[in-house]
C-alpha cells in the first residue's frame, strides 16, 4: 500500500515538454511584444535594447510565435488521436455542469458559506477555464498576428479595416494574457486553496498522494481503488 508522501505520476514526459515549450514561448512573446505596445515607456526602450533594437526584437517575437503555433498544432493532433484511439476517451478536460456547480461551491466555501470545499477530479474548474482560455487566446493571437505579419496577402481577401482591428485585438489580448498568467495562473497552479506551496508536478511529472488527496480527492480515490483492486488480484493469484 502506498504511503501519503509517496510520489505518483501526474504528467507524462511529453506533457512536461509541451508545458516548457509553452512557458518559454509565451514568456518570450510577452518580453518582446509588450515593449512594442508601450514603446514610449522608458522600460520598453531598455528591454528592446537587450535584443539589439526594435527589428531584432520583432524577429525574436516572430520566431517564438512559430514555436507556439507549432506546439499548439502538435497538441491538437495528440488530442484528436487520443479521442480516436484511446478507450475510454480522455475527457477529463471537457467542461460540464459539474464544473459550474463546483465553481459556485468554491465561491461559497471562500465566503464562509460552506464548510467543505468541492471535491475535484483530475482537473478542477479553474484549470479547465485556463485551458480553454489558452486555446482561445492562441487562436485569436495566431489569426491577428498572421494578418499583421502578412498585411498584403490579408488585404487581398479582407477589407483594409482588418489591419487596425487586428492590431488592437492583438495588443489587448496580449495584455490580457500577461495579466492572466501573473495573477490567475501563478496563484491557482502553485498557491491554490488547501496547500500553499509550490507545485512542481508539471516540471517533475510527479506529485504526492497527500497533495492529490487534498487537491484532487476524486482522482485520489480512483487511484486508491485501482491500487486496492490490483493488490487484491495479486493476492488471489498467489
Closest alpha carbon to 8 in 211, 190, 209: 209
Closest alpha carbon to 180 in 122, 111, 132: 132
Q: Where are the alpha helices (DSSP H) in 39-161?
A: 42-50, 54-85, 97-110, 125-149, 151-157
Contact by Cβ (8 Å): 28, 64? yes
- Given this model, what pLDDT does residue 66 score? 97
Task: Report, as an integer, the average pLDDT of 23-28.
Answer: 96
Domain ranges of the chain: 7-237
Closest alpha carbon to 213 in 3, 33, 4: 4
Please give the mean pLDDT across all residues of the chain. Answer: 89
Dihedral sign computed on CA atoms, order 83, 86, 87, 89: negative
Cell 492529490 sits at which residue? 212
Q: For 104-129, how does the pLDDT look when each residue is reduced to its tens digit (9 = 90+)?
A: 999 999 899 999 989 999 999 999 99
Q: Is 116 helix (H, G, I), strand (E, B) or coil?
A: coil
pTM more than 0.75: yes
Give the class (CATH, top level) of 7-237.
Answer: mainly alpha
- The strand ranges marked E within the chain are 7-9, 206-208
CA distances to 30, 87, 97, 123, 125 from 117, rounded to whole Å, are 35, 31, 17, 15, 13
Amino acid at each position: 500500500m502506498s504511503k501519503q508522501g509517496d510520489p505518483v505520476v501526474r504528467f507524462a514526459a511529453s506533457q512536461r515538454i509541451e508545458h516548457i515549450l509553452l512557458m518559454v514561448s509565451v514568456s518570450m512573446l510577452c518580453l518582446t511584444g509588450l515593449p512594442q505596445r508601450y514603446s514610449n515607456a522608458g522600460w520598453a526602450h531598455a528591454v528592446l535594447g537587450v535584443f539589439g533594437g526594435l527589428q531584432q526584437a520583432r524577429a525574436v517575437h516572430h520566431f517564438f510565435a512559430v514555436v507556439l503555433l507549432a506546439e499548439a498544432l502538435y497538441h491538437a493532433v495528440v488530442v484528436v488521436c487520443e479521442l480516436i484511439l484511446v478507450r475510454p476517451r480522455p475527457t477529463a478536460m471537457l467542461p460540464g455542469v459539474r464544473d459550474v456547480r463546483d465553481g459556485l461551491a468554491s465561491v461559497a466555501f471562500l465566503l464562509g458559506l460552506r464548510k467543505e470545499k468541492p471535491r475535484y477530479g483530475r482537473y478542477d474548474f479553474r484549470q479547465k477555464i485556463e485551458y480553454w482560455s489558452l486555446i482561445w487566446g492562441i487562436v485569436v493571437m495566431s489569426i491577428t498576428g498572421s494578418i499583421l505579419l502578412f498585411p498584403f496577402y490579408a488585404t487581398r481577401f479582407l477589407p483594409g479595416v482588418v489591419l487596425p482591428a487586428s492590431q488592437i485585438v492583438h495588443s489587448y489580448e496580449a495584455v490580457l494574457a500577461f495579466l492572466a498568467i501573473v495573477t490567475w495562473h501563478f496563484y491557482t497552479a502553485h498557491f491554490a486553496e488547501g496547500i500553499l506551496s509550490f507545485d512542481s508536478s508539471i516540471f517533475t511529472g510527479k506529485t504526492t498522494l497527500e497533495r492529490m488527496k487534498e487537491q484532487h480527492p476524486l482522482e485520489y480515490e480512483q487511484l486508491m481503488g485501482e491500487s486496492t483492486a490490483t493488490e487484491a488480484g495479486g493476492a488471489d493469484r498467489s
